[in-house]
Amino acid sequence: MKTGTKILLAAFVAVGAAGGYYLYRSRMYALNTIRVMDFINSPEKHPDWIIQAGARCGEAPFQMPTDGFIGFLWDDSWRIGHRHSGIDIFSGKEPGETEIHAAYEGYLTRLPDWKSTVIIRVPDDPMQPGRQIWVYYTHMATINGISLVDEAFPPGTRDVFVKAGTLLGRMGNYSGTPGNPTGVHLHLSIVKDDGSGMYKNETDINNTLDPSPYFGFNLNKNHQKDEIPGCR
């Protein structure tokens, strides 16, 4: 076989493999999207999909931060090249109706311009003692940016200790752009420390950790086998 033909064949194989990978991921994402829409439209049909706030799986260190259905997982994809940096938990209720609690103890910060977000510093990672991590909670505001973060944590709050189970706020649908809502949900991600005592950029999945071992069950899209997320 000529060299040019070999190169062309290798290119087709690579494109085919990539296409198969994205087709697989697209199928899995489509499945989750269908489930999320079904849950949002008819949550009463799926009570078995809901995990209760405070629930803990075995000896896992984190507890469930809110009542809801975990619709999108870590490393889910919205489009080619996009990788979801956390998990999305949907309540099936209206903004402001569903409480959000700390999944693990730590030191809470809310920057002055954060309408819907808090981040909790965990000095001693329960999965890797000696390492500092951060737990990020967002979408705690209404469609127009009216904050649903609890009044105990006003803008500018810095490094306030909270226990696991502390009320942080309520679930909303604020996307960051007034009038352009998300579905009512909590986005939670586990963010790496930057080495100087601050958190890395949460929007980059490479700056976050797979939350599965922290909650004690699969929350990684790459390991999903069509099952509803939960403690088995």
DSSP state of 207: G
Give the model's pLDDT for residue 111: 98
For position 208, what pLDDT does the model report? 98
Question: Buried b / exposed e across 144-153, counting CB within 10 Å, b at 16+?
Answer: eeebbbbeeb
DSSP 74: B
Among residues 198, 142, 127, 196, the alpha carbon closest in space to that of 173 is found at 142
- Residue 185's CB is within 10 A of a number of other CB atoms, namely 26
Please tell me the predicted confidence (pLDDT) of residue 33: 87
Q: What is the pLDDT of residue 29?
A: 63
Helix (DSSP H) and strand (DSSP E) numbers for the chain: 2, 10
Q: What is the DSSP string of 9-49?
A: HHHHHHHHHHHHHHHHHHHHHHHHHHHHHHHHH-GGG-GGG
Per-residue model confidence (pLDDT) at position 136:
98
pTM for the full predicted model: 0.87
Residue-wise pLDDT for 17-64, tens only, equals 334 444 444 455 688 889 999 999 999 999 999 999 999 999 999 999
Q: How many CB atoms lie within 10 A of CB 132?
A: 18
Residue 108 to residue 90: CA distance in whole angstroms: 23
- Say what the pLDDT of residue 5 is: 41
Q: So what's the pLDDT on residue 21? A: 41
What beta strand segments (E) does 67-175 contain? 69-72, 87-90, 99-101, 106-109, 118-122, 133-138, 160-162, 167-170
Sort residue 161 into left (φ over 0), alpha (ψ -120 to 50) or beta.
Answer: beta
Tens-binned pLDDT, residue by residue, of the chain (232 aa): 544 443 333 333 333 333 444 444 445 568 888 999 999 999 999 999 999 999 999 999 999 999 999 999 999 976 677 799 999 999 999 999 999 999 999 999 999 999 999 999 999 999 999 999 999 999 999 999 999 999 999 999 999 999 999 999 999 999 888 888 889 999 999 999 999 999 999 999 999 999 999 999 999 999 998 899 999 8
Domain spans of the chain, in order of start: 3-223
What's the distance, CA 63 to chain centroid?
Answer: 14
- Given a contact cutoff of 8 angstroms between Cβ atoms, the answer to whether 53 and 101 are in contact is yes
Backbone φ and ψ of 30, nearest 5°:
-60, -40
What phi and psi, each to the nearest 5 degrees, are found at residue 178?
-55, 135
For the 3-223 domain, the top CATH level (class) is mainly beta
